[in-house]
Structure 1
Amino acid sequence: MVEKNHKGRDVRMLCSLLSVSKSGFYAWRNREESERRKHDRLLTDAIVELHQGFRKAYGARRVHQQPKRSGLSCSVRRVSRLMKTVGIKASSRGLYTWNPGKHKFYSATGNQLGGEDPAVSVGTQWAGDFTYIKTVAGWLYHAVVIDLYTRSVVGWSFSRKRNSELTKSALKMALARQRPQAGCIFHSDQGIEYAAHEYRELVESAGMRRSMNRKGNPLDNAIVESFFHSMKTELVHQRLFENEIDAVAHIIEYIEFYNRERIHSSLGYQSPLEYEKMAA
């Protein structure tokens, strides 16, 4: 009873400070989610999925077009606001905008992979990227590193934050599990998560060469995009993860299945592990 009275005094004090009535406060607290908030939530989910589907290449103006075609009314300004809320933007945005001191921390490079023949052995061509995973508790970022010869996922990481630590962790795991050959190409998009100088230093210290998508050509990294498409089709879109622990556990289980059991038409209908053993 004492606790109840204490809470009552807190509510009265709060209402007095805000110049509102107690009945108004309780009506606000018990009010159902507004139609605008419901619409924002639906739009946010659609925007995140669309942004990933466009290989993170589209900004607010282009992302805005698809919800309209699907019957979700929205303005460019509203899409831009919701994109900022969940921390997503076009992958190339801001890389080449002049900003004092910025290029001290970030730099891009050319597409070295485009001038090479397809990989002919393990550890000669790697590629990395990351994606968004929806959970009941919020969004989770998932980065991978794939050996382009075997299509095997050799490194991965998860984080609530989108930054170079996410992508560095995946590469560090890959380097611990499978040593690349000298001069191995490491390919990625032009996002700042891969353009950061600390990431470049990690790649170069491992004896690898950096390579990035051509501007406006996200399909340069098609093999990693194909993995994410398979993972989302076969796992992520089939269930709703309760939280990040639930998501991480199931995704790691899927990666093990993908590497050891899932057959690939591009590998002669063998799994990455089988293909690697055949090539050894």
Structure 2
Amino acid sequence: MRQMGIRACWVKHYTVTTQSRCLDAILVNILQEQFNPPRPDTIWCSDITYIWTTEGFVYLASIMDLFSRKIIAWNLSRKLDASGIIRMLQTAKQTRNPGRLVVIHTDRGCQYLSQSYIKETAQMCRSYSKKGYPWDNACIESFHALIKREWLNRFKIENYQQAYMLVFEYINTFYNTVRIHSHCNYMSPNDYEKLYANYKKKTALIAG
């Protein structure tokens, strides 16, 4: 090989760039796997999952309130971009009207790093999972596994319209309203939030 002028090529070791280090400094994990806030609209978490149909993938994005594990907004999109995330966030803010600084925790997907997302969450406290570590967002990851295992996997989903109806049926008529959760003392998310609201009213009357 030497006589023919052929030499082995040494592969350079991967070098962590300044940009990567800066990104780690900016995308702070505020949540730190503290999944049990004391009241609603303190910490929201969001993620995106793929749903297979015979016409191709569609993409389900969801926001969960960690207090009750309720899905407070969701969006099903044909495209994997930030527009569905923005619509979902706007719905969550309109329906919940939190009135306080909310922590919103996500992974580092490009949709959650987009300028439109940064703008939409300007009055919120953004928190990000560590790179390649899904356990930092375990609750919403678990929900997306659950909706597939308990419901979507039963069907051969033909298209977007069927996928939308199935997601609506599961979240709006079962998961939030009927399905009990050990985290919620074996109540549904809706009932758990109602119990908290009644407790707050009673304590306010006593205090007043």
Q: TM-score, normalised by structure 2?
A: 0.79
For 2:53 and 2:178, locate their aligned partners in 1 and report how far apart those are by CA, in whole Å: 26
Aligned-partner residue type, residue 121 of structure 1 = R
How far apart, CA to CA, are the structure 2 residues paired with 1:197 and 1:114? 24
SS in 2 for 1:154: strand
8 Å Cα contact 1:124-1:181 kept in structure 2: no
SS at match of 1:219: helix
Structure 1: runs of 5+ lacking an equivalent: 1-95, 98-102
Pick from 138, 144, 162 the counterpart of residue 246 of structure 1.
Answer: 162
Matched, 1:220 2:173: no
CA distance in 2 between partners of 1:230 and 1:209 (Å): 27
Asked if residue 166 in structure 1 is aligned to residue 84 in structure 2, the reply is yes
- Equivalenced residue count is 176
Cα shift at 1:231: 0.1
> In the TM superposition, what whole-angstrom CA distance separates every residue of 1:128-187 from its partner, at most 9, and x where no partner exists?
111001111111011011101011001111111111112112111111211224221000
Kindly name which structure, 1 or 2, has the bigger radius of gyration based on alpha carbons: 1
Counterpart for residue 196 of structure 1: 114
Specify whether residues 159 and 153 from structure 1 end up closer, same or farther in structure 2 by C-alpha distance, changes over 3 A only.
Answer: same
Post-superposition Cα deviations, 1:236-261, rounded to whole Å, max 9, x if no partner, equal 11111111001101111100110000
Q: What's the CA shift string for 1:77-115, capped at 9, x where partnerless? A: xxxxxxxxxxxxxxxxxxx57xxxxx9xxx952001118
Unaligned regions of 5+ residues in structure 2, if any?
A: 1-18, 198-208
Match of 1:211 among 102, 127, 147: 127
Aligned equivalent of 2:55: 137
Secondary structure, counterpart of 1:260 in structure 2? coil
Is the contact made by 1:108 and 1:190 (CA closer than 8 Å) also made in structure 2?
no
What is the SS of the residue equivalent to 1:135?
coil
* CA–CA separation in structure 1 for the residues paired with 2:164 and 2:35: 34
Taking the TM superposition and a 5 Å limit, the aligned residue runs for 1:60-209 are 109-114=27-32, 118-204=36-122, 207-209=123-125
Q: Partner of 2:195 in structure 1?
A: 278
Please say if 1:268 is aligned against 2:185.
Answer: yes
Alignment check: 8 A CA contact 1:125 1:147 kept = yes
CA distance in 2, matches of 1:209, 1:116: 15
Instruction: Please list the CA deviations of residues 179-225 of structure 1 after superposition, one character each: whole Å capped at 9, or x if unmatched.
Output: 22422100000011001122011112xx3100000123211101101
Q: CA RMSD in A?
A: 2.0
Does the 8 A contact of 1:141 with 1:161 survive in 2?
yes
Write the distance in 1 (CA, Å) between the matches of 2:99 and 2:47. Answer: 20
Question: Percent of counterpart pairs with the same letter?
Answer: 35
| Higher relative helix content | 1
Deviation at 1:116, TM superposition (A): 5.5
CA distance in 1, matches of 2:186, 2:36: 18
1:17-56 to 2 correspondences below 5 Å: none
Cα 1:214/1:151, change in 2 over 3 Å? same
SS in 2 for 1:113: coil
